[in-house]
A and B are shown apart, each in its own frame.
Chain A
Amino acid sequence: MRFTPHTEEDRREMLRQIGASSVEELFSDLPQSVRLDRSLKLPEGLSESEVARLLSDLAARDLDMGQYVSFLGAGAYDRYIPSAVGELLRRSEFYTAYTPYQPEISQGTLQAIFEFQSLIAALTGLDIAQASLYDGATAVAEAAMLAWGQTGRERIVVARSVDPQYRAVLRTYAHGRGLEVLELPLRDGRAGAEDIAGAAEGAACVIVQHPNFFGLLEDVDSLVKATHEKGALYIAVADPISLAVLRPPGAYGADVAVGEGQGLGIAASFGGPYLGFMAVRQEYLRRLPGRIVGETADKDGKRGYVLTFQTREQHIRREKATSNICTNQGLMALAATIYTTLLGPDGLRQAAALSVEGAHRLGDGIGKVQGAELAFSGPYAAEVALRSRASVGDVQGAMLKAGMLGPLDLERFYPELPGHMLLSVTEKRTSEEIGKLLDVLQGVEA
């Protein structure tokens, strides 16, 4: 296939206009020593029908969550996405546009980001939100950098109950800035406020996920209190769907809320593209990374939106910028905006509530399975961590045989949790599916 429209005649005329005898001549300033003197070793180009076939054959080698019932979660969810989301995302005025550098012809993107910021602020209960970050993990890392910039302190404290991938990315970023990362140990699957006093001495922030990686509710009030006593910022990691039913970070005293927005109408897509979000208290506005959209007016007083507070950003501040982020996850923020608008407060609450209900149906059932038990005590939301006599591999195998995907092997990330696994429930899982999963668990354990 080619998407270059020129005929040979076009090329000749253009070269004549340029005053060059050949296209090669336009490359004459490339020194011989750096030229590629052979063709690229790539498969031959294909027609569209051939490419379509090639790709659908490849895709057919994967099992997908349409054919298989997924109990996998842990940061990426199989949620119901209304048809209108996909339809609207294919409006190519949106997806073929660049970052809105020319506001007069980008009001669509700009207003959508403004609405996204508004929705994220409403969900998190905080004062301002920015336009998006790469994903939940980098949002956590960027939040830590914000706290470092704000406090000048070089220690970052993170609860071990935070998504292990987020912690891994945090360590990568922290190493760049030369910051120390300290983990709060697991106490029955949670962070303990009693551990903060020691760890958070001289710390820039304490990072806690709630509900945490295992789906457990953290004791946020005492964690926030202990954090603030040390003069550190409290960074809440939150799942946006859970925020429809749980007290939001702004209400329990968090300074920054970050998270993964994939659950808001974005396909699981083997791990990306997803959506990082960040909301903060007003006083941290000028420390936010990335784009921010604000409302203003033209000379006739007509309302319009622009990228604003840009003196934080790399194109202006260069090495002093709050972050190097440029291209972010604009279209994914649009997906989240459309999804949240369609579902509305009732729909979002229902997605969260059905997930919690399903998880408890599963959790209660596991309590009755011989050989399996819940890994931790205390309240949980929509993930179920369990420990079992049967190996994780056996459970995975049995589920796959029964047409189901899951669970996640927790030992992979937590060597201290051998034989532990994580199952997740979304609003898509029916009681029949949960019942069938319990039967499968009963079967492997027997």
Chain B
Amino acid sequence: MKTIFEEHEAGRGTAYLPSRKVDLGAYLPAGEIREELPLPELSEVQAVRHFTGLSRRNYGVDNGFYPLGSCTMKYNPKINEDTARLAGFAQVHPYQPEATVQGALQLMWELQRDLGEITGMDAVSLQPAAGAHGELTGILIVRGYHESRGDAKRTQVIVPDSAHGTNPATAAMAGFEVVHVPSDERGGVDVEALRQLASEKTAALMLTNPNTLGVFDERIAEIAEIIHAAGGLLYYDGANLNAVLGHSRPGDMGFDIVHLNLHKTFSTPHGGGGPGAGPVGVKAHLKDFLPMPIVTMENGQFHLSYAAPHSIGQMRSFYGNFGVLVRAYTYIRALGGAGLREVADDAVLNANYVLSLIKDHFELPFDRIPKHEFVVAPPEDLVRQKGVKTLDIAKRLLDYDFHPPTVYFPLIVHEAMMIEPTETETKETLKAFADTLCQIVDEGRENPDYVKTAPHNTVVGRLDEARAVKQPRLLERLGG
């Protein structure tokens, strides 16, 4: 497809604003006024067709099955899109007086309360814009907490080797040294190794549970005890909360701080790379460290409160990705507590169902009851003898109109494929996907080259990623 720069034709633009001529020279110093503005001009029809055309070269949950592990690509209810666009939410300025935004503040206050109940936490901030931003908020809270106690020697954050990349990156951004704890043969934290690593230098342990292998760390109580006994805090990466909604809460597992990904667990759309929202919940002893402001209620009136003596400060402008919060709130109200528990039930049922259908065709690094997702690898003979790898299987899935699973993550599993069906898929879809995966393994044995050169039915074939770095072309300018 052409780019907007290639479609440019001077004079084609549509007027959206009053055409009154303005003499800028009357208001701004001549030397400050910009002469050239090299932006493309398209007619509205051209622009609409251009972006509609782009949308058709995309694949979302509404197009089909999207079992992208760790990302919880569940269906995004359409009612959420309508509620977020209500004028009383979308057309509200963040600096409006509190008295004129009581609806928005009430929604935030209730969402803080409900997310606290869902996670077992005592206080919640809705400010963080995504999961990683929630992590940074949480680890800065860790830092603030130890500093407030004059405990300056806690310089380390422990992260499992199965952790998502944002965990170590976050710990570094918050000024900590990252210490890796290995996984044991059951896929959980190696508790003996953890015991060795935990010390008076430990600021926190960051953990995902169920973890990135999709298995629940059964020794969580012991892990919590080790970290707490060493004087550290326990941080919960909530990316996988979908698996345990209503069954088990991070607060009850011993965690002190948690972030959620509303764009995973709470059905807000991922937007092709955001916006998300990453609210952070804490236990009572950390409440005063939360970023400001928090929404409070007094006599039925809602306020933005900036009164937190130890607050880590502000994490972003204003109060959070409010439009995303409206969607998550809508979802929680629609489902209620029982509905949320059913989400976890079916997310876990679906993962186990797909696993049961494919397990004879794939390698299973950890043979356990998975929760909402699981990790497999292609059979050894396929990889070794035929040279068909995880990437090839993923690309071949595109030809069958499925989004592939997450690949090559977690890093501790060779040729990893991480499959997360989510709860919103039918049995028939799951079966069709499982059958296709098995069929691709057979194809790989019979005709490896065909699988290795997949996809064959997409708008472009496999793209040369090395060339993108060697001959970088990162933008286009008008006139080429």
Contacts and interface: CB of A to CB of B under 8 A. Distances in A.
A176 B90 CA distance: 33
A26 B348 contact: yes
B287 interface: no
Contacts of B323: 267, 269, 272-273
Contacts of A313: 165
Interface in B310-348: 312-324, 326, 329-330, 332-343, 345-346, 348
A59 B131 contact: no
Interface residues of B, number: 202
B52 interface: yes
A97 B59 contact: yes
A42 interface: yes
B462 A134 contact: no
A3 B77 contact: yes
Interface stretch (A82-90, A196-204, A229-237): A82-90
A379 B468 contact: no
Nearest to A98: B270
Interface string A115-145: 1011101110000110110111110000001
A341 B40 CA distance: 7
A248 B334 contact: no
B94 to A, nearest CB: 3
Interface in A75-104: 75-76, 78, 80, 82, 84, 86-88, 90-104
B398 A104 contact: yes
Contacts of A134: 129-130, 133, 316
Contact of A93 (B60, B164, B333): B60
A326 B314 contact: no
Interface in B91-110: 91-97, 100-104, 106-107
A4 B343 contact: yes
Nearest to B63: A93
A151 interface: no
Interface residues of A, number: 199
Contacts of B371: 26
A175 to B, nearest CB: 7
A400 B39 contact: no
B57 interface: yes
A104 B475 contact: no
Nearest to B120: A36
Contacts of B130: 134, 325-328
Contact of A54 (B1, B166, B333): B333
A8 interface: no
B475 A330 contact: no
A176 B464 CA distance: 38
A405 B249 CA distance: 43
A320 B220 CA distance: 28
A314 B169 contact: yes
A391 interface: no
A347 B460 contact: no
A27 B103 contact: no
A258 to B, nearest CB: 13
Given A112-B51, A315-B409, A4 B477 contact: no
A21 interface: no
Contacts of B170: 324
A1 B127 CA distance: 28
Interface stretch (B195-203, B351-359, B382-390): B351-359
A268 interface: yes
B37 to A, nearest CB: 4
Given A115-B3, A308-B472, A271 B47 contact: no
Interface in A17-34: 17-20, 23, 26-31, 33-34
B104 A95 contact: no
A344 B468 contact: no
A230 B428 CA distance: 66
Given A18-B353, A56-B86, A96 B270 contact: yes
B19 interface: yes
Given A23-B348, A52-B79, A247-B34, A271 B424 contact: no
A274 to B, nearest CB: 7
Contact of B91 (A33, A65, A123): A65
Contacts of A65: 91-93
A61 interface: yes
B60 A330 contact: no
A91 to B, nearest CB: 4
Contact of A122 (B27, B314, B477): B477
B226 to A, nearest CB: 15
A104 B50 CA distance: 18
Contact of B476 (A29, A114, A302): A114
Contacts of B368: 29
B218 A29 contact: yes
Contacts of A331: 269, 271-275
A35 B341 CA distance: 12
A268 to B, nearest CB: 5
Nearest to B254: A34
Given A29-B215, A122-B39, 12 more contacts: A17-B353, A76-B317, A115-B3, A172-B140, A172-B315, A268-B91, A294-B472, A296-B473, A299-B461, A306-B463, A329-B273, A379-B28
26 contacts: A6-B349, A6-B426, A28-B369, A44-B337, A51-B334, A56-B86, A62-B103, A65-B93, A98-B68, A102-B398, A107-B58, A118-B3, A171-B313, A172-B140, A176-B173, A245-B24, A247-B33, A271-B322, A272-B322, A308-B469, A325-B133, A330-B270, A340-B39, A345-B37, A348-B37, A357-B22
